[in-house]
Structure 1
Amino acid sequence: MEETKEMKIARSSKFSSCRGVSFEINPNKSSPFAIESTTKTEKAGTWLWIPPWTRNNSQAISSTRTQSRASSHFCDINIDADDDEYEFLAQVQDMENNQEKVEVLPKSDIPTKNSRLSIILLDQGCTVYKGLFLVCITLNMLALALSVLGHFPYGKSRATLFSIGNILALTLCRSEVVLRLLYWFVVKTIGKPCVSLRIKTAITSFLQCIGGIHSGCGVSSIAWLVYSLVLTITNNDENTSPEILGVAFAILSLLTLTSLSAFPFIRHLHHNVFERIHRFAGWLALILLWFFILLTVSCEPSSKTYHITISKMIKKQECWFTLAITILIMIPWLSIKKVQVSVTAPSNHASIIKFEGGVKAGLLGRISPSPLSEWHAFGIISDGKKDHMMLAGAVGDFTKSLVSSPPKHLWIRSVHFAGLPYLVNLYQKVLLVATGSGICVFLSYLLQKSKADVYLIWVAKDIELNFGNEIKEMVEKYPKDKIIVHDTVVSGRPNVAEMSVNAANNWNVEVVIVTSNPEGSRDVVRACNKAKIPAFGPIWDS
């Protein structure tokens, strides 16, 4: 049979995966790649590219297919507040005219569907993240214990400095400017063929899980501040006034509230609450920290008055630490601006937002309808020349409003930030695996020349219907021997984990990078690691 680049595949009682293996549909709703159809038909077919080394030459080709509902299987970088509406599991194919046989599994064999929260916290838990968190906590608690026991006099006398130092460290770990520079430096220095793959994957794991240091320093800063207050109260420190104690307790309360709001359970179910508490409580704590420093520096114990001088300020390490924290927090907010955008919706379940200006591959951006209320991060699609765009799946209030009421203007941060997709530049041969709108973070690598030799697997539902011709054409232009596109409406649900392992072996890649929902990412990473293939996917606190 002649192999064509664009194929329209008949629906029958069996479907073919992109590995050329036929299988009967099993109505298992726990699969993140299950599908659903109706009895309506659509005149237009859909496209599917199957690499020559995965095809089954005996497969029949036709030009019709059935129509399913619009896809709900989207994967955005951002987790919106309305994640209860985030559907990760596409539905199972309806059996038409009793022609398709359904395998009925015993109740004991039916896989149980884990909640998304349990997957995020348990199944998808990153040991490197937890390791960094524990190392940070351990070092701080060791220093704190030595201070309490009298074996670390500097820690006992400068407990407040250690608390502020931890706040500076956690701010550095979340500064998009600092991380952008760090990612750039890492790619420039170790992104060379002579550097071993083990070093590159270790660095990738560290950068992806640097949030563990952020969390560990947050908890440690609270512990040091509590220790400082206990020392002050028990020792009746003459250098401390009631005003200083009051401000210190207010800072402690705000830090505790901020840390509690970041607890995974709260962050997952009430993301907007977490984001606003983290932002506004953090800002207020920073303002109070400046008051605290001014009061402690200017306090005159003998007269109980306050007299501030520049010479006193510049001698205080706490002042310099706080100044650094302030600058790091201010930089992103100094870069925000309101820009004109063009928003189109190829379907009711996705929108494409276009901006002026080219962007380097692998970077991500933040947009907001109101800068003080909420920010949403998306992968950036760009050829690196005149403009760029974002693909947003309609999964929350904001992303749904982009479809129903397309805005003319949005707020953006001019400084784009780097994440896991940017580290594609670290390797020589990379397999990118995406489901749904997760493709957006990888499309720039198809449009721009990259240091890495990039291969792609994209699994999505109703590609033409949900993503439109523009996205389709971007993918079509990429060399067909480096890509697998799997439309679940046409070819049924695949085993993406197995597909990724097979493709990684056939293409002989160094590493696999996946962007999917938590369950999908977990399965791909586990399967690849089991096959001794380094793999990385987003974690809950990337």
Structure 2
Amino acid sequence: MERPVRFSSCRGVAFEVKPHADPFAIATPAAQPEPQRSSISFWPFSSSKVFPSSIQRSASKSSSHFCDLEPEEEEDDGDVILEYIPKDTYDFENQKAVIIPLPSKREQVQPSKPTRKNGSRLSVILLDQGLFTVYKRLFVLSLTLNITGLVLAATDQFPYARNRAALFSIANILALTLCRSEAFFRVVFWIAVKLLGRPWVPLLLKTGTTAILQSVGGIHSGCGVSSIAWLVYALILTLKARDNTSPEIIAVASTILGLLCLSSLAAFPLVRHLHHNVFERTHRFAGWTALVLLWAFIILTISYDPKSKSYSNHLGSRLIKTQEFWFTIAITIIIIIPWLTVRRVPVNISTASGHASIIKFQGGIKAGILGRISPSPLSEWHAFGIISDGEKEHMMLAGAVGDFTRSLVSNPPSHLWVRRVHFAGLPYLVNMYERVLLVATGSGICVFLSFMLQPCRADVNLLWVAKGIEQNFGTEIKGMMSGHPKEKVIVHDTAVLGRPNVSELSVITAKKCNAQVVIVTSNPEGSRGVVNACKKAGIAAFGPIWDS
């Protein structure tokens, strides 16, 4: 029986979970006598320019998912080098390529060796991003600080923490909630661009800030584990002094602990990736229930009198004097804010092909902003990059890779739920740099198109690799790519030009435009390949991580 295909996503770029070869690697044929070679030149997509890249000619297959470069079948007819050459080498009247002599081997761009023949995308997400990523460093830092405080409290060297262990647990919950506040980080990203988006600011400071802002999920998860540790410690102390508390307080605290553990287990990378809907719903409803019980815990602990073994009715003056109360107020406000902006709005959905849909909304949006939409706000939300000229309307490009996105193609709704508070993603930080190369494959282009439609303080260059530009994405998306200088926008249509080595092409393009940083949006393997290749070439690069 065929195994079911699972999907996940990284800020609107969807991908399948299934083993296959690296989609960006170029197959190396077995050793054999060198066949006769020919060199063929194609003039690519209308206002674009493709730098030299070595690829093998192959039969075009339907992509296994919309953002991927499709796996290709080799033909036994030798290697074909596809290169960009001037217009006069292409016969436009007869629409055919002009054959020119093959360049010497030194002039050819040699493909890099495949990094992996077999391996699942799950391993790329969970293991191959490295042991010392910024995300993991922030996780370890958060956990280490908390464990240090916990050890000092347990050894009577930190009496304040020992007496207020529950407060430290609540403080960690506040920190992890803040790290997932899209409204808060919209402000943080804006401040970062305003302060650091100046030519005299060192590039190292900019890239360091970008890495931290992209990886705050490490703080979120580190504080989540720490909140459990502090609450366990608080419960142990409470049970030791059981005469000074009530069974209700112990029961409520134990239930909160159980919900925090359940939420953390659901967020474990393996569970989150393979069962994303389970993770999302468990995280949401367990968190809400824990928040309600946290209010009950605070009211019970503040109103309980251990001497009389009863609860007092005079809470007002006591509540406002306790830190736990104010921390819980902050947590509640942070959680409620996004839900206050949820609206059901009319949408206009068009389908360029069976592979994607274009969802249009009213109102212009700044470049680099992402948004969430939902058919049912209490059960699921989906994040997509926003395309907008910043004036009258904005749109989202949704590749048909999951149940929800496929339904947009087969049965487009007239209304969708949205959050009015849009959030800033990695692309928003483009304005912090002077020269940037944006690399996208497939529908990953949606997070970058706004930079082609709106004024941008950075000098932006774009490299887009996709199959069947007009057929899969429609004339509207194709039109957005036209009208730009040929050296600024590079569109590589794999249906016409074959599949390139995107990592190598990104490095060549970044050097050509002297980019300070490369930002890529692709599937996990593709993003990893581009980021690693650029870093090896001494170019700062960032791509979506599994917990972006």
What's the TM-score once normalised by structure 1's chain length? 0.85
Which residue of the partner structure matches residue 507 of structure 2? 501
- Give me the whole-angstrom Cα distance separating, in 2, the residues matched to 1:250 and 1:380: 40
For residue 15 of structure 1, what is the aligned residue in structure 2?
Answer: none
Q: Is the 8 A contact 2:59 2:72 kept in 1?
A: no
Mapped to 2, the partners of 1:29 and 1:233 lie a distance apart of 53
Give the Cα–Cα distance (whole angstroms) in 2 for the partners of residues 109 and 138 of structure 1. 38
Gaps of 5+ in 2: 1-18, 27-42, 81-112
Residues 60-75 of structure 1 aligned to structure 2 (within 5 Å): 68-75=60-67
Contact conserved, 1:431 with 1:509, CA < 8 A, in 2?
Answer: yes
Structure 2 residue identity aligned to 1:184: W
User: What is aligned with 1:91?
Assistant: 71
Counterpart position of 1:272: 277
Please give the per-residue CA displacement for 1:503-534, whole angstroms capped at 9, x wherever unaligned.
11111111000001000000100010011100
What SS is found at the alignment partner of 2:456?
Answer: coil
Q: 2:225 aligns with which of 219, 238, 250?
A: 219
Q: Does residue 256 of structure 1 match 2:261?
A: yes
RMSD of aligned Cα (Å) = 2.3
Matched, 1:301 2:323: no
- Aligned to 1:252, the other structure's residue is in SS state helix
Q: In the alignment, what sits opposite 1:291?
A: 296
| 1:320 aligned residue (319, 326, 332) | 326
Q: 1:47-62 maps to which residues of 2 (within 5 A)?
A: 47=45, 50-51=48-49, 54=52
Q: 1:66 to 1:234 in 2, by over 3 A?
A: closer
CA contact (8 A) 2:502 2:530 kept: yes
Q: Decide which of 198, 202, 206 is 2:208's aligned counterpart.
A: 202
- Look up the equivalent residue of 2:470 and give its one-letter code: E
Would the aligned equivalents of 1:34 and 1:93 in 2 still touch at CA under 8 Å? no
User: Residues 115-126 of structure 1: matches in 2 within 5 Å?
Assistant: 115-125=120-130
- Deviation of 1:72 after TM superposition, in Å, equals 3.9
Alpha-carbon offset, residue 69 of structure 1: 4.9
- Secondary structure of 2:127 counterpart: helix
Task: Tell me which residue corresponds to 2:248.
Answer: 243
Per-residue CA deviations over 1:92-126 (Å, capped at 9, x if unaligned) read: 1464xx65679xxxxx9994221111000111246
Match of 1:85 in 2: none
2:534 to 519, 528, 536: 528
Which letter does structure 1 place at the counterpart of 2:256? I
Cα deviation 1:320-362 (Å, max 9, x = unaligned): 0000000000000000000000111111111100000000000
C-alpha distance in structure 2 between counterparts of 1:533 and 1:414, whole Å: 36
User: 1:32 offset after TM fit, Å?
Assistant: 1.4
Q: Identify if the C-alpha distance between structure 1 residues 338 and 171 changes in structure 2 by more than 3 Å, giving closer, same or farther.
A: same
How do residues 20-419 of structure 1 correspond to structure 2 at under 5 angstroms?
Answer: 30-33=21-24, 47=45, 50-51=48-49, 54=52, 68-75=60-67, 88=68, 90-93=70-73, 95=75, 99=77, 111-125=116-130, 127-238=133-244, 240-307=245-312, 308-419=314-425
Taking structure 2 as the reference length, the TM-score comes to 0.84
How does 1:417-496 map onto structure 2 within 5 Å? 417-496=423-502
Q: Secondary structure at the match of 2:464?
A: strand
Q: 1:341 to 1:46 in 2, by over 3 A?
A: farther
Q: Deviations over 1:282-333 (max 9, x none)?
A: 0000000000000001112233221242101001100000000000000000
Q: Aligned letter for 1:90?
A: E
Question: In structure 1, how many angstroms separate the alpha carbons of the residues matched to 2:302 and 2:541?
Answer: 51
Q: Is the 8 A contact 2:304 2:311 kept in 1?
A: yes
Query: SS where residue 451 of structure 1 aligns?
Result: coil
Letter in 2 for 1:253: G
Measure, in 2, the Cα distance between the counterparts of 1:390 and 1:448: 16
Distance in 1 of aligned mates of 2:44 and 2:409: 23
Paired with 1:302 and 1:466, the residues of 2 have a C-alpha distance of 73
Q: Which protein has the bigger strand share?
A: 2
Give, in angstroms, the shift of residue 187 of structure 1: 0.3
Q: Where in structure 1 are there 5+ consecutive unaligned residues?
A: 1-27, 36-44, 57-64, 76-87, 103-107
CA contact (8 A) 1:29 1:92 kept: no
Instruction: Tell me, in whole angstroms, the C-alpha distance in 1 between the residues paired with 2:151 and 2:25.
Output: 53
Distance in 2 between residues matched to 1:120 and 1:187, nearest whole Å: 29
Change (3 A) 1:55 1:92: closer
SS in 1 for 2:222: helix
In 2, Cα distance between equivalents of 1:281 and 1:236: 27
C-alpha contact (below 8 Å) 1:73/1:460 kept by paired residues: no
Aligned length, in residue pairs: 478
Indicate how the Cα distance of structure 1 residues 141 and 111 shifts in structure 2: closer, same or farther if over 3 A, else same: closer
CA distance in 2, matches of 1:274, 1:110: 31
**Contact map agreement 1:339 1:412 (CA 8 A) in 2:** yes
Q: What do the CA deviations read for 1:209-268 (whole angstroms, capped 9, x no partner)?
A: 111000000000000000000001113351x10000000000000000000000000000
Contact 1:354/1:388 (<8 A) preserved: yes
Q: Secondary structure at the match of 1:431?
A: strand
Is residue 58–residue 72 contact of structure 2 (8 Å, CA) maintained in 1?
no
